[in-house]
């Protein structure tokens, strides 16, 4: 080794030892007679010191010529500091320099290598290798490593086996777009990159692997929204001879294990909520239950009082914002504008102030008596000082809009603390959803999800919208961490499902024939779950974006600006692959 210790480990116990450190120049301080160099590596920072008159003059000269981010090998003696720095783990000691070699120089970095950097996103991504030098970014990746380790630790303890499934697979048109890979050896044919190892893990269950996991890269060629990446990592799991309850317990256990070991937080048992309740009370299939503010439906008490907007509405529903009765006219106007933005799309906002003196003041005083408003307040369990916010219209839209408003009010009221973690299982998802545009049914989860046994008669009866699936999502703080289902494991049901989803017999055979064949050779009941690992890391890191938990992320156009990729390839390469570019 070029060093005897790292830059984070020396303490008073090392006093008088002769040591060699390697690292990067964080800072040089030239006090005239005294020179200090802060030397940094992954493990910490150690102060080097040189003294005019004591240290060799050429060494002092060398220090005076150091720049930020120079790579040094420093040899010296550990001494106790005169003025200690209790903020630094190595703050009790410093190294009296005896020898100093520059292993590599550095140009001035395009941005500062500090937690608070002056570099913008684009610049940081172009020089990602320098961005990764920042403590704050490196710590994210260390957290990711830790979570990866503890995930494996837990799953291993539960007898799961990691099995690697292939990356070069077969393209299937269901779901998002596949990335494809032209095959040189099989001219005119393409592999696809997996959107998930779904069918493979099911085959492993057919093979009797019993408990499978994999922490695995998956790929989706989607138009990228702010926080999506074309390649992402999944914790992918599957179990045999289980029912839904077993899976929920096993993976609730996993998340509890991660919180305990990585953050020393004991999570309580996760509450469960049906999809129907999640939509009814929170307007979302991934409710943020760090705070209450549940929807209350007001149709019975607010309709037929002569307010046409409500009377024509499918749903009138409100939330109670605690302590907001003091909102000014300006604040209420601003909130009304907020819900009317195209992203939310509400037509208007009805408010009721529950004044401290027991009176009520609303934006619909013309239509409702104080007594009416009082019944609303009672329904919404409001107290004097609270503000009621009411939306009306088409049920699905109101729920969505009120859900957004609820989150907004939660944020404004400081109810969404990043250090509070409120997990939740959402269960009993619908099996299918109807798409008006394409006039067909889509699988809400995926085509391999089984209907609830008691709802199978509804499938037979063609009441497809009412069929519930054995599907579940794990939600935390309003974010979906993972989701899964108990699978279909018998050929006739799988055929039926593919037919409902619009597959012809031939298409079904062509794309999923291998899976349906497998179901005929003793397929066991099985089910599983997959967690978005990038998302899980950002949740643990208390961040909104997944990008800083990925070493080399791509931008919103799917580009790696550091590599300048994707890029053109040579005509020769295209020719070998038997493909050409279209104009």
Tell the smallest beta-carbon distance from residue 38 to a second copy (Å): 14
Nearer to a second copy, 66 or 391 (CB): 66
HEC assignment per residue over 10-79: CCHHHCCCEEEEEEEEEEEEECCCEEEEEEEECCEEEEEEEECCCCCHHHHHHHHCCCCCCEEEEEEEEE
Q: Which of residues 171-200 bind a second copy (CB under 8 A)?
A: 171, 173, 177-186, 188-193, 200
Tell the smallest beta-carbon distance from residue 483 to a second copy (Å): 21
Residue span binding a second copy (CB under 8 A) among the ranges 68-76, 305-313, 374-382, 397-405? 68-76
How many residues touch a second copy under the rule CB under 8 A: the total is: 124
Encoded one letter per residue, x for contact with a second copy by CB under 8 A and - for no contact, window 97-136 reads: ------xxxxx-x-----------------xxxx-xx---
Nearer to a second copy, 97 or 523 (CB): 523
In this structure, what token pair is assigned to residue 232? 């992402």
Tell the smallest beta-carbon distance from residue 123 to a second copy (Å): 13
Q: Smallest Cα–Cα separation from 39: which of 14, 12, 63? A: 63
Q: Which of residues 208-237 bind a second copy (CB under 8 A)?
A: 208-210, 217, 219, 221, 223-224, 230-231, 233
Tell the smallest beta-carbon distance from residue 34 to a second copy (Å): 25
CA dihedral 494, 495, 498, 504 (to 10 degrees): 160
Nearer to a second copy, 15 or 569 (CB): 569
Tell the smallest beta-carbon distance from residue 330 to a second copy (Å): 42
For 147-294, where are the E strands, in sequence order? 161-162, 180-182, 190-192, 211-219, 231-240, 272-274
Site for a second copy (CB under 8 A): which residue of 47, 90, 165, 538?
165
Segment (H or E) for 426? strand 423-427
Residue span binding a second copy (CB under 8 A) among the ranges 143-151, 263-271, 414-422, 464-472? 143-151
Residue span binding a second copy (CB under 8 A) among the ranges 55-63, 261-269, 431-439, 574-582? 574-582
Q: Which of residues 22-61 bind a second copy (CB under 8 A)?
A: 22-25, 40-43
Q: Smallest Cα–Cα separation from 113: which of 128, 125, 130? A: 130
Please report which residue ranges of 264-369 form alpha helices under DSSP H.
275-282, 299-302, 308-311, 329-340
Rounded Cα distance between 559 and 229, Å, is 10
Rounded Cα distance between 455 and 444, Å, is 16
Tell the smallest beta-carbon distance from residue 389 to a second copy (Å): 39
Q: CB 175: neighbour CB atoms within 10 A?
A: 15
Cβ pair 94, 48 in contact under 8 A? yes
Nearer to a second copy, 331 or 504 (CB): 504
Q: Which of residues 514-553 bind a second copy (CB under 8 A)?
A: 514, 517-525, 550-552
Q: Which of residues 292-351 bind a second copy (CB under 8 A)?
A: none
Buried/exposed 126-145: b ≥16 CB within 10 Å, e otherwise: bbbebbbbbeebeebbebbe
390 to 173, 324, 327, 351, 403: CA distances (angstroms)? 42, 14, 15, 6, 11
Tell the smallest beta-carbon distance from residue 201 to a second copy (Å): 10
Tell the smallest beta-carbon distance from residue 254 to a second copy (Å): 17
Tell the smallest beta-carbon distance from residue 263 to a second copy (Å): 19
Nearer to a second copy, 417 or 517 (CB): 517
Q: Does 206 bind a second copy (CB under 8 A)?
A: yes
Beta bridge partners of 393: 315
Nearer to a second copy, 26 or 401 (CB): 26
Nearer to a second copy, 84 or 145 (CB): 145
Q: Does 429 bind a second copy (CB under 8 A)?
A: no
CA 215 remoteness from chain centre: 15
Q: Would you call 273 helix, strand, or coil by DSSP?
A: strand
Cβ pair 429, 468 in contact under 8 A? yes
Tell the smallest beta-carbon distance from residue 503 to a second copy (Å): 14
Tell the smallest beta-carbon distance from residue 292 to a second copy (Å): 35
Nearer to a second copy, 16 or 164 (CB): 164
Encoded one letter per residue, x for contact with a second copy by CB under 8 A and - for no contact, window 442-481 reads: ----------------------------------------
Query: Euclidean distance between the first and final Cα of the chain, in Å?
Result: 55
Q: Would you call 203 helix, strand, or coil by DSSP?
A: helix
Q: Does 490 bind a second copy (CB under 8 A)?
A: yes
Tell the smallest beta-carbon distance from residue 216 to a second copy (Å): 9
In this structure, what token pair is assigned to residue 405? 């408003």
Q: Does 576 bind a second copy (CB under 8 A)?
A: yes
Give Dmax over CA atoms of the chain in angstroms.
95
Q: Which of residues 4-23 bind a second copy (CB under 8 A)?
A: 6, 22-23
561-566 long-range Cβ contacts below 8 angstroms, 24+ apart: 561/122, 561/125, 561/126, 562/125, 562/126, 562/127, 562/128, 562/129
């Amino acid at each position: 080794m070029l060093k005897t210790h790292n830059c984070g480990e020396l303490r008073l116990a090392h006093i008088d030892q002769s040591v060699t450190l390697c690292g990067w120049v964080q800072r040089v301080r030239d006090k005239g007679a005294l020179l200090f160099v802060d030397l940094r590596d992954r493990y910490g920072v150690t102060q080097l010191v040189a003294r005019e008159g004591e240290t060799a003059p050429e060494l002092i000269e060398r220090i005076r010529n150091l720049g930020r981010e120079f790579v040094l090998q420093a040899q010296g003696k550990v001494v106790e500091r005169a003025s200690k720095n209790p903020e630094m783990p190595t703050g009790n000691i410093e190294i009296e320099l005896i020898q100093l070699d520059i292993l590599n120089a550095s140009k001035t970095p395009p941005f500062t290598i500090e937690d608070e950097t002056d570099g913008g996103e684009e610049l940081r991504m172009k020089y990602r290798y320098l961005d990764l030098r920042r403590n704050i970014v490196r710590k994210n990746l260390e957290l990711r490593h830790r979570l990866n380790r503890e995930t494996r630790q837990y799953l291993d303890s539960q007898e799961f086996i990691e099995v690697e499934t292939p990356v070069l697979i077969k393209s299937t048109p269901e779901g998002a777009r596949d990335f494809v890979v032209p095959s040189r050896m099989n001219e005119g044919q393409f592999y696809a990159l997996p959107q998930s190892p779904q069918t493979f893990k099911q085959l492993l269950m057919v093979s009797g692997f019993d408990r499978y996991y994999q922490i695995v890269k998956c790929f989706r060629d989607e138009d990228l929204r702010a926080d999506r990446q074309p390649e992402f990592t999944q914790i992918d799991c599957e179990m045999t001879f289980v029912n839904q309850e077993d899976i929920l317990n096993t993976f609730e256990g996993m998340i509890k294990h991660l919180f305990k070991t990585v953050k020393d937080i004991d999570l309580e048992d996760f509450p469960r909520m049906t999809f129907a309740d999640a939509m009814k009370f929170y307007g979302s299939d991934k409710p943020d239950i760090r705070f209450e503010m549940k929807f209350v439906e007001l149709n019975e008490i607010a309709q037929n009082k002569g307010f046409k907007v409500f009377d024509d509405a499918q749903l009138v529903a409100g939330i109670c914002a605690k302590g907001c009765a003091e909102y000014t006219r300006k604040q209420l106007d601003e909130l009304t504008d907020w819900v009317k933005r195209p992203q939310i799309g509400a037509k208007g906002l009805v408010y009721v102030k529950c004044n401290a003196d027991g009176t009520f003041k609303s934006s619909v005083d013309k239509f409702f008596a104080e007594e009416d408003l009082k019944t609303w307040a009672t329904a919404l369990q409001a107290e004097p000082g609270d503000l009621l916010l009411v939306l009306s219209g088409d049920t699905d839209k109101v729920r969505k809009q009120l859900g957004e408003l609820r989150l907004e009010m939660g944020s404004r009221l400081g109810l969404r603390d990043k250090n509070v973690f409120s997990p939740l299982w959402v269960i009993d998802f619908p099996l299918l959803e109807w798409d008006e545009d394409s006039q067909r049914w889509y699988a809400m989860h995926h085509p391999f999800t089984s209907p609830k046994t008691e709802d199978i008669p509804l499938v037979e009866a063609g009441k497809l919208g009412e069929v519930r699936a054995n599907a579940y999502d794990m939600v935390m703080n309003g974010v979906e961490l993972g989701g899964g289902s108990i699978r279909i494991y018998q050929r006739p049901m799988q055929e039926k499902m593919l037919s409902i989803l619009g597959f012809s017999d031939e298409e079904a055979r062509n794309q999923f024939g291998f899976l349906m064949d497998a179901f005929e050779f003793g397929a066991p009941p099985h089910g599983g779950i997959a967690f978005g690992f990038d998302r899980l890391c950002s949740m643990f890191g208390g961040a909104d974006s997944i990008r800083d938990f990925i070493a080399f992320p791509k931008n919103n156009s799917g580009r790696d600006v550091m590599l300048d990729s994707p890029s053109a390839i040579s005509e020769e390469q295209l020719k070998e692959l038997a493909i050409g570019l279209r104009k």
